Structures are given as structure tokens and as C-alpha cells.
Amino acid sequence: MLRKEDPRFIRGMGRYCDDIQLPGMLHLAILRSPVAHARILSIDTSAAEAHPKVKAVVTGAALAEKGLAWMPTLSGDVQAVLATDKVRFQGQEVAFVVAEDRYAARDALELIEVEYDVLDPVVDVRRALDPGAPVIRDDLDGKRNNHIFDWETGDEAATEAVFASADVVVSEDIVYPRVHPAPMETCGSVADYDRVEGRLTLWSTTQAPHAHRTLYAIVAGLPEHKIRVISPDLGGGFGGKVPIYPGYVCSIVASIVTGKPVKWMEDRSENLISTGFARDYIMRGEIAATRDGRILAVRTSVLADHGAFNGVAAPVKYPAGFFGVFTGSYDLQAAYCKMTAVYTNKAPGGVAYACSFRITEAVYLIERIVDCLAYELEMDPVELRIKNFIQADQFPYRTKTGWVYDSGDYEPTMRKAMELAGYDDLRREQAERRARGELMGIGISFFTEAVGAGPRKDMDILGLGMADGCELRVHPTGKAVVRLSVQSQGQGHETTFAQIVAEEIGIPPADIDVVHGDTDQTPFGLGTYGSRSTPVSGAAAALVARKVRDKARIIASGMLEVSVADLEWRKGSFHVKGDPSASVTIQDIAMRAHGAGDLPEGVEGGLEAQICYNPENLTYPHGAYICVVDIDPGTAQVKVRRFVAVDDCGTRINPMIIEGQVHGGLTDGVGMALMEMIAFDEDGNCLGGSLMDYLIPTSLEVPDWETGFTVTPSPHHPIGAKGVGESATVGSPPAIVNAVVDALKPFGVRHADMPLSPSRVWDAMRGVPRPP
């Protein structure tokens, strides 16, 4: 089925935040810190206030008077809305101007005088805990260092015992650099506060409108029922639109102060330097195995750079997100991870960029270290993986870090990818090319993801349980509307959720409207990120449709004058068993439910239902990826020649949309593996603040993707579906890096860090030590 939303997107008729125009609307611009770490000595706003088009200039001090200068982050830290005492990263919000138009607001920023006392910044994460390192968060009571948390998972002693007796132990230092989700649409909001009704309407670029509304109610003290958050069409989110950013809060304050609607839209640089980054993990990976390639245990220690405020978006009990799945797709005897997170003078974040809370880092670690082991054992990386896979009859499989994988059948997926790629022929071709001095690499990755957070007993965001509501109304004429608590950012929910409901209730998808992204019109739920829409909200949609169908069955029994047990459901109609002529369609039943005449005893009129779905477990999609690269020995430029992706996301709702999701994720992977990094100079200046510095891939850098699939349904999901939106972003970076490292094997290279730009590949070829 083609996407229902595309006619509006293709014709440029999407309605994004920046398309919102309200009568009398003012415009907000934010003054940002030019330095990474400094004490604010004074702020003079008088010249800006005198600008003829300026309506208000607000500083941190003004917000502090109202108790609004600081706000909670999603991980329970606090973050400055506007700096009061110090600035802690380059690009931090210092003041804002509200003016009649966007240009005047920007002009007036230049009239604000800020006197800074520049302090030494903490830029190198490895130095953050040094004695005498500048303390970034002196706003926190008694804080004397830059330590945020220590976290561990697995069994340290058991892992040590396995390592001590293993034939082979391989270690490698592996860096997952800081990257940015870089959605096409930057962040923004339009706040409209009605002083008479005390009602706030906020259009904002959020992936989680309901959770945001509750947090605004708690932080700003506005009554929740008087707040309406609308997330219109979003130009991509990728996890970057989960946090609440200071700009959203500023626009609310500005509307309350001026009594007018106020719009704030970031520009590209603001988005790249100040909104949630992703990754930034320095990992030491260790793997223990027998000489014949049986993997026994993995162990890792991680240093996590969280920036100036801990803005990690993850369920509260999981400070390192779902990094605990770093044991991958392998049946191990033991595993252990130890992590330390620190503050640095960089933008806050740690968002789940197209992945389920740090799974990208986990998959990269295991898939890289398994390749390092294959290198040492001189074993084919596919053979090593297949030998260690969790077997189909071991599911549900409890990992050594406590995750229960719901279902999987790994070897057929791997074999399918090998078949599509022509793996044996590729290896033969590689041998021939190597003999001619050419650099061709073949990279494998095999991943298992954990997507669909909750269940709510284990997972919450700031006390809000991770579940999702869904409401279905069938109108008298048999047309329906389904209301979701999740919010699409381009994934095609208006199509796939209509399909899910259609499959259950037999109304054609074209007759089912999907409403999402408006707290006044949809039931409460935690929103879209971490590929949770299909596993959680998709389940809710199927179950609410079944609930409506159950009621329809009772009404049908009255219409056909038979007992409920005598009815048989065939998609779209109930039939009397043994009497082919006696049937009613769902449309007939809808009219009857609303029409004249009696309904069976105890049945209320109408045909609608609402549920809140709390998932029993996460779903665990998996996939096998094979990448072929060629490296120019003269320029060290990597070209991805082929990429084969075989994904298993259980029951597939819309194959075309799945393919699109996979294409996008693979493209993301090329970006991270070869081009993308938010770097900083020694003063803490962000070196990735524009799309000329922060390179993202285009169609020119990617091959024609070759995709395939296997289907292993989730046993606990009502329709057996698992998530897919993030699989390819998670699975592709290790495949590409493994391919590049494989190409460099003749130079004795066992590892090289992303992004594998020509200069890094060139250094790896020449044995230059890796950058710190």
C-alpha cells in the first residue's frame, strides 16, 4: 500500500512548525554563548530593548525571579533554560529577544552586551576526572568534580573467571564519536498563551507531545488540562526531538510575558551545536574465546561523555540506555560492563539517535570486537558468528546481562544475506584483487536490537510509565478514526496504523483516518522514539480494534438472531456458521450500533473503544548485513560498492515502508562510519556547526541498497510485529567499518575509528597511531 501521507508531502502541503502563522505573532531569537566555559559578569540589554521592533528581552536573571531559570532534563539532572551564573558549553542559551519579525529579533541579539570571565574548559573526556580539573557543575550542591554516575551490568567475578581460563583474549579500544541526528527540519515552537482562559497552546517539534505536556505542567505550574501540545508534521526527529529544549520554554515564557503568540525556530548551526548529540562513548572491548572460535565471554569498560548537563533520553532505571545488550547475538558464558559518565563543556544530550537508547553503541562494540577476534584466530568472520549464534530453540533467551530476547532464528538470516551478496564469490574476487594490490573489503555485522520500551514496571521517563493509549471510533457509515499517542516524524504511521486496524476489523485502510500528534485529540502515551511505535502503539491499535470487533460480534448476533458462539469472523463480516447466506458486514453493524432499534441486552450504543497497552517485553528484531568497499590506495577514499541488508522485524505491516526505513538507516550508517563527527577544538569550540563541517551523506555517497528479509514473529506482540525503524542505523556502521578494516588487512590493520575519512584511512594504512 502506498503512503497515505505522501500526496500532501509530495505537493509541499505538509504543515510544519514553521508554517504556523498566527495573527499578531512575534518572533523569538536566542543569544548563545560564544565560549565553552565562562562566568557571566554582566549582561546589558538596554540597547536591544531600545530597538524599535523589540517587545521584550529576557535574561537568566529575569527567569530566575520566576523560578524558571532551570528545568529538569529527561534523566533527572537540571539544565539552564538561560544561563544565570556560568555558561557551560559553546552555544548555550544566555538571553532571548522577542521582536515583531525574525530579522529584528536577530539584529537585536547583536545589541546585547555580555561580559564573560573565561574559564578553562573540560574538552577531553579522559581528563574530566583528573584532580584539579575545572568543576563544570558548581551549581549542584557540594559538587567538586565532573563525575555523573558509575553503572555496571553482568557478573564481574564470573566474567573474570572465564577470561582467566580462556585460550584467547582479544582487547581493543573502540571510540563511537559524538554525532548528531541532524534532522532536515530544525527544532522550533509556537507558543500561544490565552491570558483570559489561562490556556496554553504549543505547536512544537516534539516526538513525545503527551510527555512534554505533563512536564510543562510540572515545571511551569500550568494546569495540565489547560495545555495543548500539538506536534504538526515533523521533518525528521531521529531521537533529537525527544528532549525539551530551552527554546521551547523560552517561547512559552515569551508568550506569557507579551500576551501574543511567539514563534522560535532554530537555524542549522543552532541545531547542530546546541541540541541533543548522540553516542560519544569511549569503549574498551575484550573478548575471550577458545582457540577453535567458541566465544566464551565479553567485557567492556566505557567512558561516557554527557556534555554539560546530563540530558540522556532513556528510561530512568537505565542511565546507559539499553547498552546492556552488548552481548549481541551470541550464546555466552559470562559478560560484564562497567561504565563511568562525566560532564564536559559540550552540548548536553545522549539522545537515542535512531536507536533504542544506546543500542547502536552496544552493537558496534560487539560486532567490532568479534571481528577483531576473527582477525586474531584467522577465521572467516561469518563462520565465527554462525558458530556462536544463539540457537532458535534457545528462545526466549536470557542474556548474561538479564535481557530476555523474545524470538529469533539467526542462521537463516545470515545465510540469506550471504546468498544475496554471493559471499563466496566475493571472497574469491577479494583474493584476486589483493593479489593485484587492490584494496577491497567485505564487512559483516549481525545485530539483535531491543525495541519497544516499556514494560511500565521496569521503564519510565521521569515517573511516566512507558505505555501507549489508542482509541478507535467507527462512525455510523462504517468509516473510522483511530487516535494514537505516538507521533510520526516521517515513518508513515498514517498508513501503517490504518493497515493494522483494517486487518483486524475489515474496514479498508482508506476509510480509516489516523489522528496523532495533538494532546487534545489523542489518548495519553509516551511517544515515538526507540522504534517503539509498532511494538507498543501498533499493539495498542490491534487490540483496540479487537475490542471493537468483540462488541461488533455481540451486535451482529442480535442482528442475525443467533448466539455469539454461532458466528464466524471473516475479515469485514460476521457469518452464521453453516449458513452462507446469513451475514452482516462491519459497516452494517456500525449503522446498527448507532441507529434506531434495540441492541442486545447490556450493549450500549456506538462502536468505539479505548485501551492503554503496557507491553509485556521489548521486541528483539535482528538482521544480517554485508558491506563491500573499495579503497583508493592513492587517496584512501572509501567507496561503498555494495550493501546487502537482510532484516527480520517479525510480521511485516508495510513492506514498502520497511524498505524505506531500512534505506534511510543504511544511509545514516554510511554517514556515521565514514563522514560524521561533532568534534571540538581545545577551547571547546564546536567544529561541526554547519553542514559544510558536519558532513551528511547524500545519494552520491551511497550504493543501490540490496535488501531482503526473514520473518520471525514476536510471540508476545498481538500481531507478531517487531520494530524496524532503527535496525539499519544500528546494524550498518559496524558492517561498513568491518569492511574498511578488512580492506586494510594487508597493512596489518585490526581496528580504525570512525569516521573513516580519507585522512584516517590514510593514517591507518601507514600505521600512524589513532587520534585520541
Binding site for ligand CDP (CB under 6 A): 491-493, 496, 528, 531-534, 649-654, 657-658, 661, 721-725
Q: How far is the CB of 727 from ligand CDP (least distance, A)?
A: 8
Q: Which residue, 331 or 659, is less far from ligand CDP as judged by CB?
A: 659
In 182-272, at which residue ranges do the beta strands (DSSP E only) sit?
A: 188-194, 199-204, 227-230, 262-265
Q: Which residue, 293 or 650, is less far from ligand CDP as judged by CB?
A: 650
Nearest-5° Cα angle at 241, 238 to 244:
155
Q: Which residue, 260 or 516, is less far from ligand CDP as judged by CB?
A: 516
Q: Which residue, 295 or 672, is less far from ligand CDP as judged by CB?
A: 672
Q: How far is the CB of 517 from ligand CDP (least distance, A)?
A: 13
Q: How far is the CB of 625 from ligand CDP (least distance, A)?
A: 17
* Beta carbons within 8 Å of 617's beta carbon, 6+ residues apart: 404, 406, 455, 716
Q: Which residue, 247 or 535, is less far from ligand CDP as judged by CB?
A: 535
Q: How far is the CB of 101 from ligand CDP (least distance, A)?
A: 36
Q: Cα dihedral sign for 575, 581, 582, 586?
A: positive
How far, rounded to the nearest angstrom, does the alpha carbon of residue 10 sit from its chain's CA centroid? 25
Other CB atoms within a 10 A radius of the CB of residue 437 amount to 8
| DSSP three-state, residue 413 | helix
Residues 403 and 617 sit within 8 Å (Cβ to Cβ): no
Q: How far is the CB of 8 from ligand CDP (least distance, A)?
A: 16
What are the distances in angstroms from CA 289 to CA 374, 443, 750?
A: 10, 21, 17
Q: Which residue, 68 or 658, is less far from ligand CDP as judged by CB?
A: 658
Alpha carbons within 13 A on the beta-carbon side of 109? 17
Q: How far is the CB of 300 from ligand CDP (least distance, A)?
A: 27
Q: Which residue, 39 or 663, is less far from ligand CDP as judged by CB?
A: 663
How far, rounded to the nearest angstrom, does the alpha carbon of residue 427 sit from its chain's CA centroid? 35
Residues 234 and 15 sit within 8 Å (Cβ to Cβ): no
Backbone region of residue 27 per phi and psi (left: phi > 0; alpha: psi in -120 to 50; beta: other values): beta
Q: How far is the CB of 533 from ligand CDP (least distance, A)?
A: 3
Q: Which residue, 92 or 522, is less far from ligand CDP as judged by CB?
A: 522
Distance CA 400, CA 283 (A): 19
The three cell numbers of residue 445 are 555485522
Q: How far is the CB of 508 from ligand CDP (least distance, A)?
A: 17
Q: How far is the CB of 6 from ligand CDP (least distance, A)?
A: 13
Residues 123 and 684 sit within 8 Å (Cβ to Cβ): yes
Q: Which residue, 240 or 755, is less far from ligand CDP as judged by CB?
A: 240
Q: Which residue, 121 or 723, is less far from ligand CDP as judged by CB?
A: 723
Q: How far is the CB of 723 from ligand CDP (least distance, A)?
A: 3
Q: Cα dihedral sign for 371, 377, 378, 383?
A: negative
Q: Cα dihedral sign for 244, 180, 208, 2?
A: positive
